[in-house]
Every structure is written in C-alpha cells, then in structure tokens.
C-alpha cells in the first residue's frame, strides 16, 4: 500500500489556508466571547491531531535510527549523529523539543517482532486515544513520565491497569469531564507510589546522574549547570522561598510616621517597586545563602580558616569610579569593579600589603572591621532584616553595612551598623538609597525615582518594636 504523501501535503495546505482565512484575515478580535472560546477549543483539537502525527512520525524516526533497525540507520543515511539531530534539522525545532518528542514517542510506538507482527506499544491505550484526537500531548507526556520508571519494577498487567485508568481520566470517559493536567499528574504519582512503594527510595541511575558544575566566565558571568536530587532541590527552594516570600500589600497593616509640624515628605509607608526580575531575585537570594553558609561555624575550613573570598585591589584603584579589582575564579583571576571590593571590605577583614618596586612584600597591616557575633545578634534584633523598605530578606541572609564607612572613621559598633541584603548592600553606592543613624535608629532616604521629594523615613518595621511603640503612644 502506497503512503498518500501527496494527499498529506494537500491536507496541510488546505488546513493552513483555512486557518489563515479564519483567524488572520479578519482577525479573531471580531469574534464574540462565546465564539472565541469555541474557536479556542477547535484550534486545540486541530493541534491534538497534529501532535498525534508528530509523535507517530517521530517514533518511527527513532525506531529506524536504532542500531538494530538496519545495516545503515536512518540517521547515518541522512548524515546525522542521532535521531535528535535529524529532528532538529528537518523540523527546525530546538534540541529540547526534539529530545522531549522522541522520549514521549517511544512510549506510543509499536515495534515489529521477528515474525513481522507489531508488538504493542508500551502505552498502547494512550496510543489508541491519541490517534482519535481526544488525548493531548501534555497528557501523554505526563502519563509516560510517571509510568516509565516502573517498567522494570512492576508487572505488565499492573502497568496496563494504571495506564487505562489514567487515560480514561484524561479523556473523560463514562460521563465524567476530562481532568486537568495538574490533577492527572497527581493521579499518576499516586499510581506510581501504589505500584512501587519503594519508588521514593533513591534510584541508582538518578543518583549517578547528579551533577553540579560551574562553567567558564562569559561577559563577567559564570553559567551554572547540573542536576540535583529531589531533597537538595527542595532544600534550596525552601531557602529561596524564605528570602523571596512576597509581601501581600493589600493585606498588611499600613503605618504612618509621626512627624513634627512642617516636616516635608509623605507620611504614608509607601510600597517600593523592586525592578529586579524573578531570576535576578533568586540569584541575589542565592548569593546571600552562600555568604551565610561561608560564615557559619559548621562550614568546612580551608587552610584552618573559614572559606573566604579574597579580593585584591590596588590602593589607587579602590576609590576610583572606574577602578578594577580581582577575585579568584575557577580559571584564575577575574577582574571585577572596585565597587565590589568596597562592598566586600565593608563587612570583611582588610589586609594592606605594601610592595616594593620588585614586587617584594615590605609591610603587612591587618584591619578587622567585622562585627562580632554578639553585635550581629543585637543589630538583627533591632532591624529584623534588610532595612530597605519593601525588602523582605531576613536577618540570617543579610550582611552588616557600616553607615559611616570604616575607611572614613566609622566605628564597628551597633550604632553604626545596619542590616542589608546582598543585593542592596552591593548596590548601595549606585542605587540612590541613603542611610543615616538618628538616636541609634536607622533612617532611609529613597532615590528620586521612588519619591521625588526624597524624605527621610523609618527603615523596615519590626513587629516587636512596632508593638512597643503602639503601647507607649
């Protein structure tokens, strides 16, 4: 039987032309609300047929690319290294899309036996429903990802029962509406735990694939790659959540500052917009976690001391706006702005080294500007966390900033130290925020883009201080 390839091209052309006329010539904006939702369902149904065809063809490509399929594999015949590369080049999809498509296609692809008959696909129920256009690609992927790890640990009958129930829930048979992908994922995980109670134990293959790698520097940034186990991911997520927990502005109390008559500025405790993206916030929170871990007494030591970031900067470069400093990177010294050196020096120990003309060390002076353990506890109790309004980073992830710089005579005392998160401490010189101490309490002045009047105002509120203030009012 000849495959109707020409008919398939005609169908694609007719369908494409019909979609262009229906949705692009006049536009979907002319549709009523009811018709728009109906069009959404129809287009999705068309997409399901297309997804079923994509998986079917990709599965056959993957099968013919296996070394046992023929003397010359499909990939070798087309000069490709793998089926993934063949899909990328033929369809112009990304590597991730091609990889995911082939992985899902393996679950619904039949294979011939030695006698020439077709052996059922690993997920044959899903394959049949996919061919009817009722089962979505997301549903097939969800079912396949949940049941694939069980193939070596459960019987075929048990897997078939689980698959049939999940497919039925996804397509909505027996008068019930189709479940959502989220509900399907929960059901699939429930089946996996029921059929394989030991599935929560560490999998040897997965454990071997755990990786964490720091890449090479690119434009002063270092890529991070790897795969972490579930417990490590959960721990990191909780730590990030602790620093990035959003402030629900509409449900929090709002306070006003008590100001003397004639004082300028807004009395309202305004909400300050944070211009950082979610990824940038996660990066800054991760930086704070690393700094806290390095300072912990439980951290491993290097050369008998806590793991310490060493920043090298010449004296004439330190105060320059365009000054350059250096840190030790994975591949040697990496140049960084002098502002980074000033940021590190604000809460670290400075070793002043005098070098001779030939590079010989002539003198070494050590200046310790680190706040003590007890000073940090006191400042944490007073500030509660980062003092910049709107920032919710807790004290445990904050650094202590000298309000009056140590280099300009500022003492390392509680009345000259405030809590700042990694992001605000690193940008305090350039962001426009200003901090001063008044009667031992920090006050903050916003940049002009936050408030053009730039009034001095109290720092972030601390619950126990606010309660004491309310009682004494």
Residue at token pair 């030695």: 114
Q: Tell me how crowded residue 424 is: count the other CB atoms within 10 A of its CB.
A: 21
What's the whole-number mean pLDDT along residues 356-378? Answer: 66
Signed CA dihedral, 295, 299, 304, 310: sign only: negative
pLDDT at 9: 75
3-state helix, strand, coil in the chain (%, to 5): 50, 15, 35
Helix H or strand E encompassing 342: helix 338-346
Chain segment 234-277, per-residue pLDDT in tens: 777 777 777 665 543 333 333 444 444 444 444 344 455 667 78
**For the ranges 74-88, 212-226, 314-328, 411-425, which has the lowest average pLDDT?**
314-328
The three-point CA angle 351-355-361 to 5° equals 75
Gap between the Cα atoms of 275 and 235, Å rounded: 27
Q: Has residue 108 got a pLDDT over 70?
A: yes
Burial class (CB in 10 A: 0-12, 13-18, 19+), 357: exposed
Question: Per-domain residue ranges for the chain?
Answer: 5-198, 308-370, 371-473
CA distances from 411 to 384, 415, 469 (A): 21, 9, 28
Higher per-residue pLDDT: 73 or 253: 73
CA distances from 302 to 330, 340, 345, 367 (A): 16, 23, 20, 21
The three-point CA angle 381-284-341 to 5° equals 85
What's the whole-number mean pLDDT along residues 450-459? Answer: 84
Q: Has residue 344 got a pLDDT over 80?
A: no
Q: Has residue 27 got a pLDDT over 70?
A: no
pLDDT at 141: 92
Q: Has residue 297 got a pLDDT over 70?
A: no
Higher per-residue pLDDT: 402 or 32: 402
pLDDT at 256: 42
Q: Tell me how crowded residue 126 is: count the other CB atoms within 10 A of its CB.
A: 27
Nearest of 240, 245, 209, 252 to residue 227 by alpha carbon: 209
pLDDT at 173: 75
Higher per-residue pLDDT: 269 or 117: 117
Higher per-residue pLDDT: 377 or 336: 377
Q: Has residue 458 got a pLDDT over 70?
A: yes
Burial class (CB in 10 A: 0-12, 13-18, 19+), 118: exposed
Task: Report the share of the chain in percent with pLDDT over 70.
Answer: 70
Q: Has residue 424 got a pLDDT over 80?
A: yes
Q: Has residue 57 got a pLDDT over 70?
A: yes
Strongest mean pLDDT among 140-149, 295-304, 313-322: 140-149
Backbone angles phi, psi at 46, to 5 degrees: -60, -40
- Positions of E strands within 302-380: 311-312, 324-329, 332-337, 349-355, 361-368
Q: What is the DSSP track for 14-38?
A: HHHHHHIIIIIITTGGGS-HHHHHH
Strongest mean pLDDT among 36-45, 130-139, 408-417: 130-139
């Amino acid at each position: 039987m000849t495959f109707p390839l020409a008919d398939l091209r005609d169908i694609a052309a007719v369908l494409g032309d019909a979609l262009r006329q229906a949705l692009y010539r006049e536009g979907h904006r002319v549709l009523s609300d009811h018709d728009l939702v109906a069009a959404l369902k129809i287009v999705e149904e068309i997409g399901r047929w297309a997804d079923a065809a994509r998986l079917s063809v990709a599965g056959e490509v993957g099968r013919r690319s296996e070394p046992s399929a023929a003397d010359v594999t499909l990939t070798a015949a087309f000069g490709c290294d793998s089926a993934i590369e063949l899909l990328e080049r033929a369809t112009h999809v990304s590597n991730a899309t091609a990889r995911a498509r082939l992985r899902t296609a393996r679950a619904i692809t039949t294979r011939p036996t030695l006698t020439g008959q077709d052996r059922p696909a690993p997920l044959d129920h899903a394959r049949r429903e996919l061919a009817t256009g009722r089962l979505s690609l997301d549903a097939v992927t969800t079912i396949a990802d949940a049941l694939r790890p069980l193939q070596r640990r459960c019987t075929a009958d048990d897997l078939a029962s689980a698959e049939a129930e999940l497919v039925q829930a996804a397509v909505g048979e027996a008068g019930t509406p189709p479940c959502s992908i989220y509900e399907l994922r929960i059901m699939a995980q429930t089946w996996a735990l029921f059929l394989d109670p030991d599935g929560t134990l560490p999998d040897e293959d997965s454990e071997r694939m755990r990786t964490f790698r720091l890449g090479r520097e690119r434009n002063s940034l270092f890529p991070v790659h790897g795969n972490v186990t579930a417990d490590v991911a959960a721990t990191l997520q909780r730590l990030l959540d602790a620093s990035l927990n959003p402030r629900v502005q509409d449900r929090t109390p709002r306070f006003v500052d008590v100001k003397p008559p004639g004082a300028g500025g807004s009395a309202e405790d305004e909400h300050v917009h944070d211009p950082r993206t979610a990824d940038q916030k996660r990066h800054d929170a991760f930086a704070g976690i690393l700094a806290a871990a390095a300072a912990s007494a439980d951290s491993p030591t290097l050369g008998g001391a806590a793991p310490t970031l060493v920043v090298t900067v010449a004296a004439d470069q330190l105060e320059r706006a365009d000054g350059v400093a250096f840190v030790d990177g994975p591949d040697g010294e990496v140049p960084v702005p002098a502002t980074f050196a000033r940021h590190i020096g604000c809460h670290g120990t400075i070793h002043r080294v005098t070098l001779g003309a030939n590079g010989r060390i002539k003198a070494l002076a050590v200046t310790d500007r680190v706040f003590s353990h007890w000073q940090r506890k006191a400042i944490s109790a007073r500030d509660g966390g980062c003092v910049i309004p709107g920032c919710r980073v807790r004290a445990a992830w904050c650094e202590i900033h000298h309000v009056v710089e140590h280099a300009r005579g500022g003492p390392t005392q509680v009345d000259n130290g405030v809590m700042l998160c990694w992001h605000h401490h690193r940008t305090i010189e350039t962001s426009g925020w200003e901090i001063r101490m008044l009667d031992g309490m920090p006050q903050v002045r916003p940049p002009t883009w936050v408030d053009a009047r730039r009034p001095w105002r109290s720092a972030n509120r601390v619950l126990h201080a606010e309660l004491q203030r309310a009682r004494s009012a």
